[in-house]
Structure 1
C-alpha cells in the first residue's frame, strides 16, 4: 500500500512544469524535492513508519499550484 501511495504522490509531483537539473537530468522541481526529502528521512530516521514516509514525500505536493503570493 505504501508504494502505491508514494507512486501517486510522485505522479502528481511529476506534473510540475518547473524544472531543475540534478545529475545531468532535468527533473520536475517538486518531484526532485520529494525524492531528496525521502533520502534525508532514510538517513536520519531509517526506521520511520509509513505515515512519516507519506508526510515527507507529500509535504510539497503540487506546490506550484498555490503561489506563495496567494
Structure 2
C-alpha cells in the first residue's frame, strides 16, 4: 500500500463525502496502526488502544467508527 496515495485519496474524498473531526481522526489512527505491521488487508486492535491514540471516549469512538463504516471509509 502506498501511504501517501491513501492520504491523498482520503483528503480528496473528504471534499465530497465529509466526516466529523472524530471520524477523520480515527481514520488517521487506523492508518497509522495498520502501517506498523506492513499493511494487512484485515487487522484487529483493541478499542482501548484506538481510543487512547485518537483521544476519544468509547462512546465517541463508537459513533466515529459507525460514521466511517456508513460512509464507506472502512468495512
TM-score of the superposed pair, with normalisation by structure 2: 0.35
Greater Cα radius of gyration, structure 1 or 2: 1
Which has more strand, going by share of residues?
1
Which has more helix, going by share of residues?
2
Q: Report which structure shows greater RCO (CA 8 Å, sep ≥6).
A: 2
TM-score of the superposed pair, with normalisation by structure 1: 0.37
